[in-house]
Structure 1
Amino acid sequence: MRLLMLSTLLLATTACTWVPIEPAGKTVRVLAAGAVPAGCQSKGEIVVTVKNKVGFYNRNPLRVQEELETLARNEAPSASANAVQASAPPADGSQRFAAFQCPPR
């Protein structure tokens, strides 16, 4: 019975998004991999980290990637950036993003 309850709790917590998007983060664009659009100015790099494991359980990689992107969007305004672009794929719950100030679309 305990194992069943623990399994249910673990599955419920891994389905949740732990990282909410902040109001300032909603205005930040996520640029596709590749060339940076013309007129964008580099504002540095953002490194973000989330839990990719809960105990012995590996969290869903897609959920982890979504949360990393959300964290990068939330951090971008503090770097005077309005766009982010992944510099590398996620690794062990961490990911690097390039931050840019781009002209409005």
Structure 2
Amino acid sequence: MRLLLLSALTLTATACTWVPIEPSGKTVRVLPAGQVPSGCQQRGEVVVTVKSKVGFYNRNPLRVQEELETLARNEAPSAQANAIQAAAAPADGSQRFLAFQCPPR
């Protein structure tokens, strides 16, 4: 019984991850799908990954997508970018984003 309780507690704790936004990531804009605003220059790509499944438990897809976007925003400044745009839909806890340097709004 204790082993079952310990396993359930461990699964619950590991399934609830949270990715904090870093100060540099707070300044990164998320561009909607489609046309990139004029004046933006592509700086490369950012590929990010989080756990989408813990054991047999599939995490909430919206939560996974939110964490992927936060990670991409955190990584964008290292590519000298201040904006990101999803280049593909999330798949198995991974997503590719295009990184851009855009003029200030």
TM-score between both structures, scaled by the size of structure 1? 0.89
CA contact (8 A) 2:14 2:54 kept: no
**Matched position secondary structure for 1:99:** strand
Pairwise mapping of residues 2-41 of structure 1 onto structure 2 (< 5 A)?
2-17=3-18, 19-41=19-41
Counterparts in 2 of 1:32-51, with a 5 A limit? Answer: 32-51=32-51
* Percentage identity across paired residues of the two chains: 77
List per-residue Cα deviations over 1:42-91 (Å, max 9, x = no partner): 10111111111111211111111111101100000000000000000000
For 1:60, the equivalent position in structure 2 comes to 60
Distance 1:6 1:29 in 2: 40
- State how 1:62-81 maps to structure 2 within 5 Å: 62-81=62-81
Q: Which runs of 5+ in 1 are unaligned?
A: none
- One-letter code aligned to 2:32: A
SS where residue 99 of structure 2 aligns? Answer: strand
Which residue identity lines up with residue 53 of structure 2 in the other structure?
A: K
Note the alpha carbon deviations across 1:19-40, whole angstroms, 9 max, x for none: 1111100100001111101111
1:101 aligns with 2:101: yes
AA aligned opposite 2:12? L
CA distance in structure 2 between the aligned counterparts of 1:60 and 1:89, rounded to whole angstroms: 15
Return the TM-score normalized by structure 2. Answer: 0.89
- Structure 2 counterpart of 1:66, one-letter code: E
CA distance in 2, matches of 1:16, 1:58: 13
1:30–1:84 contact (8 Å) kept in structure 2: yes
Gaps of 5+ in 2: none
Off by >4 Å, runs of 4+ in structure 1? none
The DSSP-based 3-state class of the residue aligned with 1:89 is: coil
Shift of 1:4: 4.3
Q: How far did residue 5 of structure 1 move?
A: 4.7
CA RMSD of aligned residues (A): 1.4
Count of matched residue pairs? 104
Worse-superposed segment, 79-88 or 8-17: 8-17
Aligned partner of residue 76 in structure 2, secondary structure: helix
